[in-house]
Structure 1
Amino acid sequence: MLDSLWWQGVRNLQEQKLRLAPGINRLVGPNGAGKTSVLEAVHILAAGRSFRTQQLRRVVATGAEGLWVGGEVREQGSGAHRIGVCWDGARRSRLDGRWMEGHAAVAEWLPVRVLHAGSFDLLTGGPDERRRLLDWGGFHAIVGYRQAWQRWRRAHEQRNAALRNGDRRGAREFERPLVEFGVQVSEARARYVAQWDAATREAAGAFGLSERLGGLKVSLRAGWDRERSLEEALERSRPTDEERGFAQVGPQRADLDLRLDGRPAAEASRGEQKRLVTALVGGQARMLEKEIGRAPVLLLDDVVSELDRVVVEGLMAGLADSGWQILVTAVEDSIPGLDRGGAGQLFHVKHGRLSPDPLAP
């Protein structure tokens, strides 16, 4: 759970420190007040990157030299940990007073999932975001996945570099670790997706999303013809790889195959797609809670306007019952599915500043 949060130099937000509630935290205020920027700060703290832009420098407030986001996470049995991220031309991450190499050690303590307007393009866009969603689950829920993925990725990038330089012999030297760790990554992904398929259906039922999600099926496309092993597929594609200068097959080409009643989910209605994406995220949260004993912090950016009222009502009621920590933004105080006693904390957001207003039980 994210117990406290503070920031400096983040977009239009005034420097501030907040104490968050363990349940549902509502951030309400007019458009442009800074609600989404608060969720963005949490995402930067958790993932080391923004969900709104690929460049952290674009998040820095006008006139500021950099940004800082910090917080304290508290988990039963593991105590409290202080985490932080700064950007002053380069990103640096901090855990319990020590600068870390990379962000992985910080991300481990604050798993976060976000739903925003762009999230609902997951099914119709390219495979990169779907792979990122899949790998997020692997990193947080599968022991050893991160290490296998990093070793495969290193071999993959080294082989591609050799191919670009026309070094065919050098490229082949990286194929053995590429295959070894690529198989580990793919097998772990397949196991995860099989569980995710069931968890997504469970989440759809728990959050009132099952209607219009008949025949839901989530499966994995490995990134090569599964009639062959990865080693055989790589050998078969080697001439084309050498000609083009990069790999044509492998885990980097993996994708999720999402279907409703046997048809591609990308062909479903917009309403069905929004329900499915929400259920996918909810399914990952349920899996993580089952595997490691805690759910991710959910960031819901203006889902009230993105989803039908009936869907929002069922979703928010289900989330309130889940006991998970949630930050949800809205223009109005009233959110379908939540009564005033059902949310842990209300924050009014105005001109980049949050004013806490504890809700009456």
Structure 2
Amino acid sequence: MPQARLPQPSRRGILAAGGALGLTAVLAACGSEKKDGSGKTEGGAGKSGPWSFKDDRGETAEKDATPKNIVAFTGVAAALFDYGIECKGVFGPTKTKDGKPDVQAGDMDISKLTIIGNEWGQFKIEKYAALAPDVLISTMFDDQGTLWYVPEESKDKVLKLAPSVGISVYDRQMTQPLQRIQALAESLGADVKSDKVVKAKKRFEEASERLRKVAKSRKDIKVLIGSASQDLFYVSGSNLSADLEYFKALGVNIVEPPEKAKKETGGWFENLSWENVDKYDADIIMMDNRTSALQPADLDKSKPTWQQLPAVKAGQVIPRVTEPIFSYDKCAPILEDLADAIEKAKKVG
């Protein structure tokens, strides 16, 4: 789930609000199809000729040649980087206040990137145009085709400058955006049959099976998905978020706020005051790891009600990668870490 603290609700604003949102991704196959129906695009590694890719809005981005000047949301750029595709520019959380890479930057060397905007609402159009972009790529957290971190008020100007690709992470399981990002990377020239990629996918599949087995053997362990701000504690339900939908499908026992309680956030999460933070019993708490959310270390010092939660007292608080980098390389450890936590957890909630 996304973050950036905004005033009251548009669905986009809610998602960006640093709450315990969740994300998800899209129908399997790939970019625009060849006549043989393979789903592979013409513009692969070492290929000349036109490039096209059909995105999750149903729109086809096209260029005369495979894009070289790629600008992408930071998390997408980090996923493409894992496939050997480098972006020239990024937008979204990339650099922390102390100049270090944001968690969403993955393994990228951020000193080599042009940052178009590092925070919600920032997108420097002149800086973007100066890169002579061939394509702009972002994720989508709704079914309206809204490109994440592209400001609504300037999107028309932005989208006139280059073709765009939207990858949905809304109301689907983690496996779908993984497939789509890999297909996009392949269209941009990535070798998806390389040892590195094949091994990463195998590791992800093995991690999925392990989490399934652990969740089945420890059905009694309840996992609460949280995110914190100064005034509120957010509890996410498993629907709508790509990671949480997948955890649930694998059998993880996720604490589910009632639909009525999630209504004001568009179905994503329930807002709790710090006085009511103990509303739900939980054995493990997964906390939003994004830089816009307060982290457990901050809460240990400032929120007495947090300190009294059984899972906190038991040391059973783990990070949640709220906006996963959708490469198999980055998603496998998420599943492994959750399986470890459930396997080792004491029943406290």
Q: Which has the larger radius of gyration?
A: 1
Name the structure with the higher helix share. Answer: 1
Name the structure with the higher strand share. Answer: 1
TM-score (norm 2): 0.25
TM-score (norm 1): 0.25
Higher relative contact order (CA 8 A, sep 6+): 1
